Amino acid sequence: MSDDAVGSLYWISGPVVRAHINGQLSMAEQTWVGEERLASEVISVSQDQVTVQVYEKTQGLHVGERLFGSGQPLSVTLGPGLIGSTFDGIQRPLEMIRERTGNFIRRGERVSPLNTERKWPFAPQAEAGAEVEPGTVLGLVSETPLVEHKILVPPGVHGTLKHLAGEGDYTVEEEIAVVQDRQGKERSLTMLQRWPVRQGRPIVERREPTVPLITGQRVIDTLFPIAKGGTAAIPGGFGTGKTVTLHSLAKWSDADIVVYVGCGERGNEMTQVLEEFPELEDPWTGHPLMERTILIANTSNMPVAARESSIYTGLTIAEYYRDQGFDVALMADSTSRWAQALREISGRLGEMPAEEGYPAYLASRLAAFYERAGRVTVLGGEDEGSVTVMGAVSPPGGDFSEPVTRHTQRFTRCFWTLDRDLAHQRHYPAISWRQSYSLYLEQLAEWWRERVEEDWQVLRTAALGILQRQSDLQQIVQLVGPEALADKEQWTLDVARLLREGFLDQNAFHPVDAYTVPEKQIALLNLFMWLHDRGNDLLELGLSIARLREEIDMPHLIRLKEQVPNDEPEQIEDVRQEVGRQLERARDEYRE
């Protein structure tokens, strides 16, 4: 950090300050404000003055204090040690700060984001003398029992590998390689990289999102699936289950790495995340989930500007692991709080407000956020990696026509709408099958064809058809009672109940039900749709609905989701055969 001031403050308004400048400063440059050197960033610059947003509290700051430049854009530090950490919005590690200064982050506190004393076991993967380019793997570091970290040549570095460290233990600041470029200039590399948060990391090309991110959540995987590298929004009013849903996704998704960005409105929302995540277990390995997770936490007592940057900090870390060939899932809870931070800063700047006080650039910021998702070919080879972005949206009063929800809908390809009525009925996850959608169906059909024998799309369409029919029939029932319905219509309602209670409703806290493998999802759906058709056949023969109901043990079928283990989905086929035999007996008796 330089000691040469580039300006002096003349205006302070909460997290935004202005300074007259007498030196060089660029847009998005990281700056330090005042004698306490508060972390900050240039957000507008003119000939002789700048506006800066400050990531720390500005109480007590006064006009005339100095502003310092850094010559660098606001960046994050990338390297081994990220996994398992909890950072604030500008990548200050909460644990380390807490150790040094107690529970509250002291202003102006400077702590390296990564532990610089810890030694990591480095296993070289290249040979001195080789030509290297961005993305070439220099070595491997076992970062946690679940993550093998690849040390890559960073973007922008090409040339001959002059020196590579041998197998051994190194800190992130020790030199591990020297690369000589074509002009003969040598560049020393450590395991650390810096990258500007507001700029996506380079890739070779985007790939089509044709592989689903399997979440184990039946309503998502089967009805409204998301692709690896895809985008999804989870809009829902207070208490409809956004947080529980995101936690389930963090825990169960088949992503290698999870980046969880929490922008809590109230302090305790974030405390809940900070307390809960370290307790969560990775269901696949039994290891702590934190061994493949990074948390970015903003509590309400942190300045709004840090909340604004937290999303970019999270994205950049996600892209860094994507570049190593991992499938990364980024969850943001909630993007509405982030948008509110934009609104507050914009208000301080005296910008012309657009809809509901949000700045006119709200839409472009949301677009830029979701655009950084993708399945890509990474630098340095044929490998692919992905960043899947899922953002909760919490519209005030549950009004989905407000600007953040509306714009988010434009830029995301899955929309998992949480329905207040379902949540009231304690139907969880309260993802509405009427107001949700996925635009990845076509792209994922091939994956399902290869994975399961049944035609996923046909089953899916049939199930949605029955659910739709149920909504229509329900209106009649409310007017004239269920007896007014024809037998076949009553049967449709029965099967719709099976679908709702035995398939869509999924208890995040049940040991078996919390996660369902794709094979079991399809087997359940197949059973219920088959039952629908067989029931209809019998009704057509003249069997009464009352007689048909006698044959069907509804509670048993509804409980299959909890009783059939994930590694024995064929048990559902046994149930189907058993029910089939019973229905045949009923038919034979009826014919006699």
**Footprint of ligand ADP (CB under 6 A):** 236, 238-244, 428-429, 507-509
Helix (H) or strand (E) holding 484, with range, is none
When the beta carbons of 86 and 243 are compared against ligand ADP, the nearer one is 243
Least distance CB 518 / ligand ADP (angstroms): 19
Identify the CA nearest to 80 among candidates 113, 45, 34: 113
Least distance CB 395 / ligand ADP (angstroms): 11
When the beta carbons of 248 and 313 are compared against ligand ADP, the nearer one is 248
When the beta carbons of 73 and 429 are compared against ligand ADP, the nearer one is 429
Q: Name every residue whose Cβ is closer than 8 Å to that of residue 294 and which is 6 or more positions away in sequence.
A: 82, 83, 84, 85, 86, 87, 257, 258, 259, 260, 314, 317
When the beta carbons of 242 and 343 are compared against ligand ADP, the nearer one is 242
When the beta carbons of 428 and 440 are compared against ligand ADP, the nearer one is 428
When the beta carbons of 75 and 240 are compared against ligand ADP, the nearer one is 240
- How many of the other CB atoms lie within 10 Å of CB of 431? 27
- For residues 414 and 440, the answer to whether their CB atoms sit within 8 Å is yes
When the beta carbons of 139 and 216 are compared against ligand ADP, the nearer one is 216
Helix (H) or strand (E) holding 351, with range, is none
For 532-536, which contacts have Cβ atoms below 8 Å and span 24 or more sequence positions? 532/462, 532/466, 532/491, 532/492, 532/495, 534/580, 534/583, 535/491, 535/494, 535/495, 535/583, 536/488, 536/491
When the beta carbons of 160 and 507 are compared against ligand ADP, the nearer one is 507
When the beta carbons of 454 and 562 are compared against ligand ADP, the nearer one is 562
Least distance CB 507 / ligand ADP (angstroms): 5
DSSP strand E in 378-473: where? 384-393, 414-415, 437-438
**Three-state DSSP class for residue 273:** helix
Identify the CA nearest to 449 among candidates 458, 436, 461: 458
Q: What does the DSSP assignment read for 183-251?
A: TS-EEEE-S-EEEETTSPPP-SEEE---SB---S-HIIIIIS--BTT-EEEEE--TTSSHHHHHHHHHH
Least distance CB 285 / ligand ADP (angstroms): 23
Classify strands 5-13 and 66-73 as parallel, antiparallel or unpaired: antiparallel
When the beta carbons of 216 and 241 are compared against ligand ADP, the nearer one is 241
Q: φ, ψ for residue 267 (rounded to 5)? A: -55, -40
Least distance CB 216 / ligand ADP (angstroms): 11
Helix (H) or strand (E) holding 533, with range, is helix 518-541
Least distance CB 570 / ligand ADP (angstroms): 26
Q: Report how far residue 125's alpha carbon sits from residue 144's, in angstroms, rounded to the nearest whole number.
A: 19
- How many of the other CB atoms lie within 10 Å of CB of 156? 9
Least distance CB 292 / ligand ADP (angstroms): 22
Least distance CB 506 / ligand ADP (angstroms): 6
- For residues 425 and 240, the answer to whether their CB atoms sit within 8 Å is no
Least distance CB 215 / ligand ADP (angstroms): 12
Least distance CB 276 / ligand ADP (angstroms): 11
Least distance CB 289 / ligand ADP (angstroms): 17
- How many of the other CB atoms lie within 10 Å of CB of 511? 9
Which tokens hold the place of 35? 């004698």
Task: Identify the residue whose tokens are 């995987």.
Answer: 221
When the beta carbons of 259 and 273 are compared against ligand ADP, the nearer one is 273
Q: Report how far residue 215's alpha carbon sits from residue 419's, in angstroms, rounded to the nearest whole number.
A: 20
Least distance CB 336 / ligand ADP (angstroms): 11
When the beta carbons of 244 and 280 are compared against ligand ADP, the nearer one is 244
